[in-house]
Chains A and B, each alone.
Chain A
């Protein structure tokens, strides 16, 4: 099987976000970049599927500036076979990224299945998977916790609200967006990290695919940090007094219960 995984490089979750001087974006200096955590589940699922189907390959794709190659290397160190980097500008929106990814996928001889994370934790838009699937012309299933693999179709357990699930059936090829809990992602071993350095990462430019600024549908502007909260009220006393006072404040002052 030809298995593909779309991944994104994002700032580490512990990053304190600072804005640049004209509020047109964030200050990226000093940021530690990581693979978006949901993509790790996508890679693990792809590797397991490859190992159950001898002769299969896992190719990892990422769109973004030059720095994302480092995250592709991380995926290769986890065990993926090949990497493709499509160079897109920092400001590319979801639509432009998805068109780039879909364009790269369409250059491949055959795509059997595509995995990705259910969302990236930077932008949190949860768009690129579905957009990519639509541009490739295949169905998508998002927020997937488990997949039953058939020869030509899949049965996916998709998480919805309130602890409920949808059992979604789709033919192959399809795009599957992983939810945390789908599997336990492996760590890269030292020998694999060494091997990953020698693996090929194909470099594509937007001009190779035919995407450009014209594929940009939205732009982010006027970045703001959340307003600093005024110091809250500390409620003193013994527990019984504190409980009574909190209930009173929530009812009479905040009017939320």
Chain B
């Protein structure tokens, strides 16, 4: 059994699903799972964490933790780690986790395995596998030397456990002495889109250059809205200016692993496949029967996306209503 820290991620008072995945995986392995909840005025969120597998919740509050900064997070977590002594520290490979975990690793003189897609425990030690070359290969990570073992885990890679409301965690508060902080977040500018991020969504609908224009992505957006999906794009579509880079899926964009990935008019360049091949179910719609995307697709339709997608939207709507 290992003593595991799971760094809780919340934004605007809402816990992220990826936190539940980490708690579930740690608890299922029988670990002493400590959820570390950082922020200001976030104590109310602590209760929910027990149901997902936390045995203890450390509520770490300070005005400087209201808006995330790597500096404040690392100072607080390192201080708590020194008193509690975790064997393992886990965070999501999210814009937040990937930013602060390397700094924390340096502070704790620890090794860090980033963006893991498999996570296990072996006699209190972490056993993880991660992609390299954007998923063209995967590797097992061996931690060498002493110190805690750190890992960030790709959202959606582990699956969300069923909450068990009969379980509750012991809730403790911790007041960090943060000292002088150099950096601060002056403002968080919200995105205009109500859609989920491609890296977090459980369904992603992506379009390629065959969409022909930015306006035509509306066809995909309408279907995505029925599915509660994010809208992604190939590099070709982003380079053509149809979508912003933040929506790009592939080796030079985001790497995603949703439950369902629907590729519309994407031929499947090697660098795109690298970014989405770990999706659980892949659907490809393309006019070219020889397109490489069909080699990774579980379900393929050779056809025109402009004819199919509006029909699919209606079919999905019916399925959802039943």
Which residues of chain A have a CB within 8 Å of any CB of chain B?
11, 13-17, 19, 26, 37-38, 93-95, 98, 121-131, 133-135, 139-143, 155, 159-171, 179-181, 214, 216-226, 229, 232-235, 239-240, 242-244, 246-251, 254, 256-257
Residue among B141, B281, B302 making CB contact with A256, cutoff 8 Å: B281
- Cβ of B260 and Cβ of A250 under 8 Å apart? yes
Given contacts A164-B189, A242-B303, 17 further A-B contacts (CB under 8 A): A17-B133, A94-B112, A98-B106, A134-B103, A134-B107, A139-B71, A143-B99, A166-B67, A169-B185, A218-B111, A220-B140, A224-B138, A229-B298, A232-B294, A232-B296, A246-B283, A247-B312
Please choose the segment from B53-61, B190-198, B210-218 that sits at the chain A interface, where 4 or more of its residues have CB less than 8 A away: B190-198
Contact of A257 among B95, B106, B140, B319 (CB under 8 A): B319
13 A–B contacts from the bound complex (CB under 8 Å)? A38-B252, A121-B251, A125-B115, A127-B105, A130-B102, A168-B185, A217-B143, A218-B112, A219-B142, A235-B300, A250-B299, A251-B319, A257-B203
Q: Which residues does chain B contribute within 8 Å of A16, judged by CB atoms? A: 136, 270
Q: Which of A127, A133, A223 has the most CB of B within 10 A?
A: A127
Q: Is the CB of B106 within 8 A of A131?
A: yes
**Neighbouring A residues of B311 by C-beta, 8 Å:** 239-240, 242-244
Instruction: Return A120 CB to nearest CB of chain B, in Å.
Output: 11
**Residue in contact with B114 in the complex, picked from A125, A167, A225, CB distance below 8 Å:** A125
B167 at the interface (CB under 8 A from A): no
Q: Across the interface, which residues of A come within 8 angstroms of B134, CB to CB?
A: 121, 124
Pick from A155, A224, A240, A254: contact of B281, CB below 8 A.
A254
Q: Which of B260-314 contact A (CB under 8 A)?
A: 260, 269-271, 277-278, 280-284, 294-304, 307-308, 311-312, 314
> Cβ of A169 and Cβ of B114 under 8 Å apart?
no
Report B80-115 residues with CB < 8 Å from chain A CB: 94-96, 98-103, 105-107, 110-115
Enumerate chain B residues within 8 angstroms of A220, measured Cβ to Cβ.
132, 139-142
Closest CB in chain A relative to B287 CB, distance in Å: 12
**B277: which A residues are within 8 A, CB to CB?**
226, 229
Are A235 and B299 in touch, CB under 8 angstroms? yes
Query: Number of B residues whose C-beta is below 8 Å from A?
Result: 98
Q: Which residues of A contact B114 (CB under 8 A)?
A: 124-127
Q: What is the CA–CA distance of A135 and B109 in the complex, to the nearest angstrom?
A: 11
A159 to B314 Cα, complex, angstroms: 34
List, in ascending order, chain A residues with CB within 8 A of B14's CB.
none
- Which residues of A sit under 8 angstroms from B142, Cβ to Cβ? 218-221
Is A14 a contact of B270 with CB atoms below 8 Å? yes
Known: A142-B99, A143-B99, A168-B186. A180 touches B252 (CB 8 A): yes
Q: Is the CB of A130 within 8 A of B183?
A: no
Residue of A nearest to B193 (CB): A163
Set A95, A229, A257: member contacting B105, Cβ < 8 A: A95
Contact A14 B271 (CB under 8 A): yes
**CB-CB under 8 A for A167 and B185, given A131-B102, A181-B245, A225-B137:** yes
Query: Per-position contact with A for B229-270: 1 when CB-CB < 8 Å, else 0?
Result: 000000000000000111000011101000110000000011
Taken together as a complex, chains A and B put the C-alpha atoms of A234 and B282 apart, in Å, by: 12
